[in-house]
Chain A
């Protein structure tokens, strides 16, 4: 149920009463519509996390790198701790 998938905003248009920013979001070739009401700063080209037709977060590119750096960082910290203990 809480499944949400990151996709790239391709275009934005106004729908419903003309006040709702709806985006066309591309997920690896598949295009779905999503409301941008919960992410008012989102722009074309941004990656947003979409859940049941509503974008709920803009993916933070900088933070996204942290998972790849985590192991080398904890390795360096462990080495530092060990060298301090010697």
Chain B
């Protein structure tokens, strides 16, 4: 496939690795923010090919993982008690709530549907005028235009039976929180390519300036990641801290203005609770007051009790890059993709799931020792 296969070329991978081994003289810690990048690094075996001095730490860029327990319980309640057609992305359906996941609610008879796009949920609302359709709209900046568009289309079509349960989180406030966490000790970042496709580069310059950390906006294919890491290491070795863009075939400095306008039209900035991390000020979006009829939070009264997290799960430490998945006492034991204790074991972007599927636990422990 064009723009995909050529970024997986083994020969070029080797050339990038050779250059990386040549330029790396000191130990460096680099965090890739996005869970998609985590999976690509682990799945393609890149972590094992990097110079030993480079330590990749996996960031919180998995929206499914950071969606609060309470909101999952709310979605389950809407599906079971309010009789709505509850739709979301596949991963979200499988994340455990305090009692059950949406998938378990579906098995018990609730109308829960896995969709590829929120725009399909709008069509579903059109086709089912007597039913309420709620889309559980999770995501980072990348997914916000699609979720916002679903509201715009529903409004234009005059639909009264469509709303979204929004759990939108933003990358820059999370980066700021990580930099302010003394335990995290991150020296540089691979910024998330598709988030920047929407938002552009402007909001990252102040972070680079304030914390003096190199940052490279990076794509998702093996060669993208290796080039991003190489650009980062070159800065670290020279003692520089700049914002660079490896993923220029897709990311423009200004981002996508049409997408930003649509987001602005539907969402406003709000404080957000991040599962495992806590509340970060101004770190998310919620539906604007004037569009309250499309906001499931405002449309339905939900009385549920807030329940504490499973004490055995260290998801918060994994999401902040403080612990590796296999350092959890339950990893691969009580917690596995079939029966996950926490969200990072569920999502196709969660670090725990990536290590479970693609890494040998024995090897991991030995490598670390």
Q: Are A64 and B153 in contact (CB under 8 A)?
A: no
Q: Are A38 and B142 in contact (CB under 8 A)?
A: no
Q: Give the nearest-CB partner of A64 in chain B.
A: B249
Interface residue A31 (Cβ < 8 Å from any Cβ of B): no
A25 to chain B, nearest CB (A): 12
| Bound form: Cα–Cα A67–B250 in Å | 12
A 45-74 contacts with B by CB, 8 A: 47, 49, 51-54, 56-57, 59-61, 63-64, 66-68, 70-71, 74
Given contacts A2-B61, A40-B258, contact A53 B117 (CB under 8 A): yes
CB-CB < 8 A to A53: which residues of B? 116-120, 146
Interface residue B12 (Cβ < 8 Å from any Cβ of A): yes
Q: Are B3 and A1 in contact (CB under 8 A)?
A: no
Q: Are B194 and A51 in contact (CB under 8 A)?
A: yes
B 312-349 contacts with A by CB, 8 A: 347-349
CB-CB < 8 A to B224: which residues of A? 67
Interface residues on A, range: 35 or more
Q: Are A8 and B116 in contact (CB under 8 A)?
A: no
Q: Are A2 and B143 in contact (CB under 8 A)?
A: yes
Of A8, A38, A40, most B-chain CB atoms within 10 Å: A38
CB-CB < 8 A to B262: which residues of A? 37-38
Given contacts A2-B140, A40-B258, contact A52 B146 (CB under 8 A): yes
| Bound form: Cα–Cα A75–B12 in Å | 14
Q: Are B62 and A60 in contact (CB under 8 A)?
A: no
CB-CB < 8 A to B118: which residues of A? 52-53
Q: Are A52 and B36 in contact (CB under 8 A)?
A: no
A31 to chain B, nearest CB (A): 13
Interface residue B195 (Cβ < 8 Å from any Cβ of A): yes
Q: Are B34 and A56 in contact (CB under 8 A)?
A: no
Q: Are B7 and A67 in contact (CB under 8 A)?
A: yes
Given contacts A40-B258, A56-B197, A57-B256, contact A1 B89 (CB under 8 A): yes
Binary per-residue interface labels of chain B (131-148) against chain A in the complex, 1 for a CB within 8 Å, 0 otherwise: 000000011101101100
B 189-226 contacts with A by CB, 8 A: 192, 194-195, 197-198, 220, 223-224
Given contacts A1-B138, A38-B259, A57-B250, contact A47 B117 (CB under 8 A): no
| Bound form: Cα–Cα A62–B7 in Å | 15
Interface residue B283 (Cβ < 8 Å from any Cβ of A): no
Q: List 7 A-B contacts (CB under 8 A).
A: A2-B61, A4-B194, A4-B197, A17-B153, A17-B156, A35-B149, A64-B3
